Amino acid sequence: MGIPATKEVSYVAGITQRAAQSVRRWFDAREPGLPDLESFARLCIGLGCSADEIIGALHREGHDPARCAHMVQMANCIRAITDSLTRRGELGIPVRVPGDEMAPRLKAGDIVFVKTAITRIEGNGIYAFTRDDGLLIRRVEQRIDKSIVLQCDNKAYRDHEWKGAAAAARSGVKLLGKVHGGISVQVF
């Protein structure tokens, strides 16, 4: 796959999301260790190979080194995106943006990452909420009079203002978490 021997451990650690110390044991010539099943599955996915191929029980006909190199590039790209999003803490749960209310910043189908560990609105920002008919992604503005405004970036939709937690609770809207990153895919 063109990976220098000095980079094998860090490469496999990146694919499997395991510590380099753990992966180093798998490569130990004197006392090799075995990866746990989850790590093994991640390795298979990351390399674009079946478990049978990795253990040598099956050799795929028409094995294409270019395809493997492409899969490696894809895995590295996804890993770089994940690293960027986790620099400021937990990645959060991925949620697909349901509509165009937050366009042009967030479009329907974009993926945002929501930190769900919060239990209340913590300053202005973009938040995810649930309600009976689905998911809401809104920009939240806390005002001096203690009211909260849920704003849509798309001006075709109206904002909602609540004066206090009781008003928000009556609306059936519940806080899911704060959006702290996202991925937008554009097809050209």
From residue 103, alpha-carbon distances to 42, 97, 100, 141, 186 in Å are 35, 10, 5, 17, 14
Clarify whether residues 12 and 72 are in a common domain: yes
Q: Is residue 188 part of a domain?
A: no
* Residue 123 backbone dihedrals phi, psi, to 5 degrees: 90, 170
Which pairing describes strands 93-96 and 160-163: parallel, antiparallel, or unpaired? Answer: unpaired
Clarify whether residues 66 and 122 are in a common domain: no
* Residue 86 CB-density burial (10 A; 0-12 exposed, 13-18 middle, 19+ buried): middle
Interval 93-110 mean pLDDT: 91
Clarify whether residues 97 and 176 are in a common domain: yes
Tokens coding 108? 């329907």
Clarify whether residues 20 and 37 are in a common domain: yes
Task: List 142's β-bridge partners, or say none.
Answer: 148
Confidence of residue 70 (pLDDT cuts 50, 70, 90): confident
Clarify whether residues 75 and 134 are in a common domain: no
Clarify whether residues 115 and 35 are in a common domain: no
For residues 63 and 71, the answer to whether their CB atoms sit within 8 Å is no
Clarify whether residues 66 and 147 are in a common domain: no
Each residue of 112-122: pLDDT tens digit?
Answer: 989 888 888 88
CA 98 to the chain's CA centroid = 16
| Number of folded domains that form the chain | 2
Structural domain boundaries, residue 174: 93-183
Structure pTM? Answer: 0.59
